[in-house]
Homo-oligomer: A and B are copies of this chain.
Amino acid sequence: MEIGSGRFPEPPYCAVIFTSRRTQGDRDYTATAERMIALAAGQPGFLGVDSVREGSELGITVSYWRDEDSIAAWRRNAEHTEARESGRRSWYEAFVVQVAKVERSYAFQRPPAAQRP
């Protein structure tokens, strides 16, 4: 995971904020989640993704896209559609999807000399 300036283009671009709480048990969740990230990375307009989960509790995944058309095309992807159905059928207790337009951003990167103050 790369954090810092230069990772994304200048705003505006789109972010999909996916906040979720899992059910118990894996049932192919982990493998599918990894597959979806790899598959998304190959889609036109994909800019990046960050995903963090605390055990089986709260998870936040933010994927970044060039524009709304890129998001719509990814949503129509057959394998992604099937994964979303499995999500509702068995993997998630609850989730919220929020589609947002990033309007500005700024980044901080610790200078190497100051890494261990």
A79 at the interface (CB under 8 A from B): no
How many copies the complex holds: the figure is 2
- 8 Å CB interface, A71-117 against B: 87-90, 92-110, 115-117
Q: Are A96 and B107 in contact (CB under 8 A)?
A: yes
A46 CB to closest chain B CB, in angstroms? 16
Contact of A110 among B52, B92, B98, B107 (CB under 8 A): B92
Task: Given A3-B94, A19-B50, A52-B53, output 4 extra A-B contacts at Cβ < 8 Å.
Answer: A11-B98, A23-B115, A93-B115, A99-B102
A residues whose Cβ falls under 8 Å from a Cβ of B: 1, 3-5, 7, 11, 15, 17, 19-21, 23-24, 50, 52-54, 57-60, 62, 87-90, 92-110, 115-117
